[in-house]
Structure 1
Amino acid sequence: MTTLITKTITKICIPLVILFSISLLLAGHNNPGGGFIGGVMFASVISLTYVVFGLKYIKSFFNPSWDKWFGFGLLLSSLTAFGAIVYGHNFFRSLIKFVEIPLYGEIELVSAALFDIGVYFVVIGTLLYIFKNVGEDE
């Protein structure tokens, strides 16, 4: 049984931590952060939600297949790593491209960011799959 205060604080924390997690993910290839720590942050807030509201309540409206998240992330990371070989480069070579966006300026697109996104989904899928299966009563 959790209190009203705990439930209210959790509802406030969910969007903030998810945004922070995405911020860590997107900053990862140039600054501290990346797919792993961003995925851990996302998994922690969903885990907090499971603990505070109960697994049965959450599953009534939000019951994703976390193993599919893991599979998607692993596929994306693998394709990014092997993609360089297709273009005649070494395994895991990152491509950097600069794109001009009107009214914003120049942005840097890096293929390593796709790898980070894949790692993000692998970490989320793995941690929440384990957490959900350990927490279920059979």
Structure 2
Amino acid sequence: MAGIYLHIPFCKSRCIYCDFYSQTDETFIDKFTEAVCREVRLRKQMLANETVRTVYFGGGTPSRLQQKHLEKIFDTLYAEFSMDNLVEVTLEANPDDLSPEYIGMLRRLPFNRISIGIQSFNDDELKFLG
């Protein structure tokens, strides 16, 4: 059994408490998506005899990706790995990104779990955190 973690480093804004690598310049998302797909193809031998059971999109804020980016990544994953028995496919998300349209798009893709990054329910604390 194998799992794949994909770090998506894009964020709407930089949070003062976050130690993970991220950037707010989303002009690179298309190039980044291409780079992820190249990396997947380069590393396919690492999981040649494995069945991928989990895929986790972490970050950053993976919900900054558009449908075309997610579809391209999934097309590459399915082309390179055995993914017939996926158990869990997770996307970390910012609540602000989760419009009904975005959630509908996620449902059409293999996602079956959303990890929502809620830092606080207090508006003053949220403003302070960024």
Q: Which has the higher strand share?
A: 2
Larger radius of gyration: 1
Q: Does the alignment reach a TM-score above 0.5?
A: no
TM-score (norm 2): 0.30
